Amino acid sequence: MPQLNPNPWFFIMLASWLTFSFILQPKLLTFISTNLPSDKTTTTPKTSPWNWPWT
């Protein structure tokens, strides 16, 4: 079964991971996120009890 021979596939996997790790990943990490977390204080909504007509 030739697909179980790791000789060509290991090199392809290693080359693709090295390409991703050293070339693509630094380029992707330089993008600025558009939704940065803000330091706004959270406001709790004022709630009032519900008046049930049958109680």
Look at residue 10 and tell me whether its pLDDT is greater than 70: yes
Would you state the pLDDT for residue 2? 59
Instruction: Supply the DSSP symbol for 53.
Output: T
pLDDT of residue 9 exceeding 70: yes
With cut-offs at 50, 70 and 90, classify the pLDDT of residue 17: very high
pLDDT band at residue 3 using 50, 70 and 90 as cut-offs = low
CA distance linking residue 37 with residue 42, whole number of Å: 13
Higher pLDDT, 12 or 37: 12
CA 6 to chain centre: 31
Q: How far apart are the C-alpha atoms of 20 and 25, rounded to whole Å?
A: 6
pTM of the model: 0.44
Query: Would you say residue 1 has pLDDT above 70?
Result: no
